[in-house]
Amino acid sequence: MHRPGRWMIWVALAAAIALPLGLAAQSPLLAYRSPVYITAGFAGIVAMALLLVQPLLVGGYLPGLSGLRGRRVHRLFGAGLVLAVIAHVAALWVTSPPDVIDVLTFTSPTPFSVWGNVAMWAVFAAALLAVLRRPLRLRPRIWRKAHTALAGVAVLGCVVHAVLIEGTMEPLSKIGLCALAVVATVWVLRDRRIWTPRATSR
């Protein structure tokens, strides 16, 4: 790939992430919100952005971050994703513990809460599986399929969760970020043939 093409990929990715964050920061809904509530919202946006980056790292689509280096960054960003989800939920707990309890027990009347809860546990399960991969001596094919399935649930859950919420994120940029995360995930599944016997670990 020519150098201009490499820069274009990074610029496009930066714009896809910076635009929703920047527009959310200008939302009038933030005017009377507490810092903890704002932290919760932006932690959720960061988590959504990481869900876009993660499949790009897996597929080796980001210039300079393929192979072993890409896998290392993928693991690092995976930890960051877990921390972002924890920060999102913890900050919401500080603002309203009863609401968080309703979400965690699947008793919340809001549909977006159910999807968010499912996505959260899928993120945690995918991360835990990554940590336990070697101790459990999982076969590469089984590990790949299980981790990918959990990641797919996480992406789907987060996307639906974000789209259903009418909050600080600007609608069009939010939909764009969510769509890109879905496209990146589907593209990697197709490109790497995760569900076929010919899939190989990079």
Residue 201 has pLDDT above 80, yes or no: no
User: What average pLDDT does range 99-110 have in this prediction?
Assistant: 91
What percent of the chain has a predicted confidence (pLDDT) above 70?
Answer: 93
pLDDT at 18: 96
Contact 15, 176 (CB under 8 A): no
Cα–Cα dist 103/161, whole Å: 12
pLDDT at 139: 86
pLDDT at 198: 53
Residue 3 has pLDDT above 60, yes or no: no
Cα–Cα dist 57/32, whole Å: 38
* Angle (CA) 99 180 198, round 5°: 110
Assign 194 a pLDDT band (cuts: 50, 70, 90): low
Helix (H, G, I), strand (E, B) or coil at 195: coil
Residue 190 has pLDDT above 90, yes or no: no
User: What average pLDDT does range 19-27 have in this prediction?
Assistant: 94
pLDDT at 197: 59
Domain boundaries, the chain: 3-192
Q: Tens digits of per-residue pLDDT, 34-68?
A: 999 999 999 999 999 999 999 999 988 998 888 88
Q: Tens digits of per-residue pLDDT, 128-184?
A: 999 988 888 888 888 888 999 999 999 999 999 999 998 889 999 999 999 999 999
Mean of the per-residue pLDDT values of the chain: 89
